[in-house]
Structure 1
């Protein structure tokens, strides 16, 4: 049984499915129309606009861009998808959406869940469009560059706030702690935890850019990006963001070890990677111990209910567990609107409500139940398998695109770690980046996956 969906009979499905026959329905129009020939460029422009505008514009504006991108993906699919490239990742994303739809229909608050379903649909359409565009390695590099340049702008504003001060827009730190007066930067995003989630992908990807970009000036720019993005993320004082950064760093170094393993001398294979990893961990611990604000903030992770933020989250997790037990199979329906209507029935502390479950894994369980959560884990397994096989092929060819793949996988590990204690994924600034990482991994096609050969059109993106 092919649990990891390495082989799909795409052609067989198309020949027997009415929906499958619609793919490529407008292929003749695309070949003859000026607009049809420029569809890939317009699609890439829309993806780039989302990446640029996400940290700067209100959520409603981002939703409009996502809707436009979804329309473009549908038009592009009808015009030129006969070449294949539908993978197990697409199948599981579609399955997850179907379960979310069923959870919405059976939700105790269906109207509220419909709002969440519409947002989820926009994010999944963004994934489909971005994946389609980034099958072309040039567009992949260009779109990653667009995000990195935007993240650099956001990071510069964050560092500026640290230097010159920034008034907090909310109570983000326990007022009784030693860090009550410490500046937590938030840049254009208005929330330090959200800023940390937004900048987290920029650290592995800017490190990857050092290897991918050619010329000493672009590489120097990548080094500057790496330093600025890391500094701004640390200055958010987001403990979840720090945990995500550490996890992404460990994952990235492990993947680099896999990449360079065949080229290393035998002695370096035994001691090189562990030594570098130990030095990196020692550097992180040394920085935390030597800088008092970092030391205080990191120590607050381990005081359980002794910190007001920890205590609030523990209360939320306790209530969310009761919500999951009440509707274990399909949950209450997707989205924070549905959550906000059901949570007050279970909340532990009536003085403080919650906007989400403060854990991405608990959030998925409460929204789409055990069934949806199982599909999500299945998707992660398929992505991990796909990324590993593609990395082996890219390493054998010496293709520098492998560094983008490693950056995306390391980012996903970091975002999942951050997601253990927060649910900022559901904000468009971060949700679009998560699905961008999924799209990057999915855009690489293992040679053994497809049941039909790729065409010239596919290689051109």
Structure 2
């Protein structure tokens, strides 16, 4: 059984034969001599970290078009670093599956009924994947990893603090985000600089996971106080968004973080607490949530609306969109309509119910299936499985070495699970402010990859 699992998750993956025979791979390092004489490229990784930092610093405050321009610059810089590399980097299972999905998306463009629109989506996908490629390279350096995470946390604190201010000072609601027939119809939902409460909640998910990790990794009472402040402000702001998907993400994140933290710290526990710690923690957490639901009426009404079916306008809207998207998948099940919201917006009107126009499938999983078919959907699920498995494997390795970088892996896995949980019922995941954090979390895991040794090794 373990052998089958290792094969599925590519635990003993090795691409050395394929890479050595690849003409494209031979281009890696072709200008390495130039790098040795270049002053700027002597600081290649640090410059890469600066470019990534600027994306995180400005993305909540600028338009998606400007973010796209910056992603083009990052893609170009990754190409320069790769061509000037002093050594040929290996290929992790995560890189292999990301590349495989990218190829499938390219095939989907070729067979798309709206090729021009799908090509636009494929270019955007390419930029995100090159962002991942540069991130996974830069994050191999622990100091640069700590720098980038600190940048993400400080910008997240600014965004969350402004959201909390909106809650107490009041803010104009830019759309009908609450069911008009609900007692909460006039309730404020904060959106900070991002303009949408669901988008804001998704943006805060990785920040919450990383702030918990920072509380464990950062040394000294002042850094820990700062991490605690970040955690409290981020969590409060996520609650004030009123985003049910964000709350679901928070629950998934919390459970994942607790389970992986137990894996990390269990060797320090007595036999009694190894057996009873998780039941006590989850029992207490469940009890607190139950009490909060009973005592806090807005929370209770919002939670109960999840189970209201079509009686809630938001639920009803999503159900109608999902049914139309399933029809789209049924008509093009193998390779889909092509990647990107532009392709979706051209095909969806042919299937939608009257008065239920939508810009996306309102589900990451359905969106993946409709864009790249069941083939792309299968590779996407495979990528998630391999990424989480690799994260846990490297976590155990770093734990055995008492390397605190493993705590960041816990945060990365928890963020991935949280974003996927919210992505089940929403697609704000595709906005660049969120997608860059998604690929950053994936890259954080990929950067720590070390293959398992076989018996022959």
TM range (shorter): over 0.9
Q: Retained in 2: the 8 A contact 1:151–1:199? A: yes
Shift of 1:388: 1.3
Name whichever of 360-369 and 278-287 sits farther off.
278-287
Is residue 6 of structure 1 aligned with residue 11 of structure 2?
yes
User: CA separation in 2, counterparts of 1:321 and 1:379?
Assistant: 22
For residue 391 of structure 2, what is the aligned residue in structure 1? 387
Q: Root-mean-square deviation (CA), in Å? A: 1.5
Give the aligned partner of residue 70 of structure 1. Answer: 75
Q: Which deviations, in whole Å up to 9, do the C-alpha atoms of 1:164-196 show, x marking residues without a partner?
A: 001011111111111111100000000000000
Specify the alignment match of 1:458 in structure 2.
none
Deviation at 1:447? 5.2
| CA distance in 2 between partners of 1:81 and 1:32 (Å) | 12
Partner of 1:457: none
Distance in 2 between the 1:180 and 1:9 partners? 55
What is the match of residue 419 of structure 1? 423
CA distance in 2 between partners of 1:128 and 1:4 (Å) = 20
- Superposed CA deviations along residues 92-125 of structure 1, whole A, max 9, x for unmatched, are 1011001001101110111111111111111111
The TM-score normalised by the length of structure 2 is 0.96
CA distance in 2, matches of 1:168, 1:144: 31
SS of the equivalent of 1:354 reads: coil
Runs of 4+ in 1 over 6 A off after TM superposition: none
Output one character per residue of 1:19-75: Cα deviation in whole Å (capped at 9) or x when no partner: 121111111111111122121111111111111111111001100111100111111
- Aligned-residue offset at 1:352: 2.6
* Kept in 2: contact 1:6–1:449 (CA 8 A): no
Query: Quick one: distance in 2 between partners of 1:62 and 1:303?
Result: 38
Of the structure 1 ranges 2-11 and 205-214, higher mean CA displacement relative to structure 2 is found in: 2-11
Instruction: Say which of 27, 36, 53 aligns to 1:31.
Output: 36
Residue 442 (structure 1) aligned with residue 446 (structure 2):
yes
Asked if 1:154 corresponds to 2:156, the answer is: no
1:295 deviation in Å? 1.1
Matches within 5 A, 1:38-437: 38-80=43-85, 82-348=87-353, 350-437=354-441
Aligned residues of 1:233 and 1:241 also touching (Cα < 8 A): yes
Provide, for residues 317-338 of structure 1, a one-character-per-residue CA deviation record: whole Å limited to 9, x for no partner: 1000000000001100011111
Deviation at residue 138 of structure 1 after TM alignment:
1.1
- Assess, with a 3 A threshold, how the Cα gap between structure 1 residues 112 and 346 changes in structure 2: closer, same or farther: same
Following superposition, the deviation at residue 251 of structure 1 comes to 0.6
- The worse-fitting range, judged by mean Cα deviation, of 2-11 and 273-282 is 2-11
Question: Alignment partner for residue 17 of structure 1, among 18, 22, 42?
Answer: 22
| Deviation (angstroms), 1:263 | 1.5
Distance 1:42 1:192 in 2: 33
Structure 2 CA distance for partners of 1:413 and 1:449, relative to 1, 3 Å: farther
Distance 2:182 2:86 in 1: 57
TM-score between both structures, scaled by the size of structure 1: 0.95
CA–CA separation in structure 2 for the residues paired with 1:81 and 1:340:
44
- More deviation, 159-168/264-273: 264-273
CA drift at 1:12: 2.8
Contact 1:10–1:84 (CA<8 Å) still a contact in 2?
no
Do 2:206 and 2:437's aligned partners in 1 also have CA atoms closer than 8 Å?
yes
CA contact (8 A) 2:12 2:451 kept: no
Is the 1:134–1:443 Cα contact (8 Å) retained in structure 2?
yes
Q: Using the alignment, how far apart are the partners of 1:9 and 1:181 within structure 2? A: 57
Q: Contact 2:167–2:189 at 8 Å: present in 1 too?
A: yes
After superposition, the C-alpha distances for 1:360-391 in whole angstroms (9 at most, x for unaligned) are: 00000000000001111111111122111101
Q: Distance in 2 between matches of 1:43 and 1:56?
A: 21
The aligned length equals 451
Q: Give the CA deviation at 1:450.
A: 10
**CA positional deviation for 1:287:** 2.1
2:325, 2:348 within 8 Å by CA — same for their partners in 1?
yes
Q: How many Å separate the matches in 1 of 2:13 and 2:82?
A: 18
Indicate if the aligned counterparts of 1:186 and 1:192 stay in contact, CA closer than 8 A.
yes
Native 8 Å contact 2:320 2:356 kept in 1: no
Structure 1 distance, partners of 2:64, 2:416, is 23
Structure 1 unaligned regions, length at least 5: 454-461
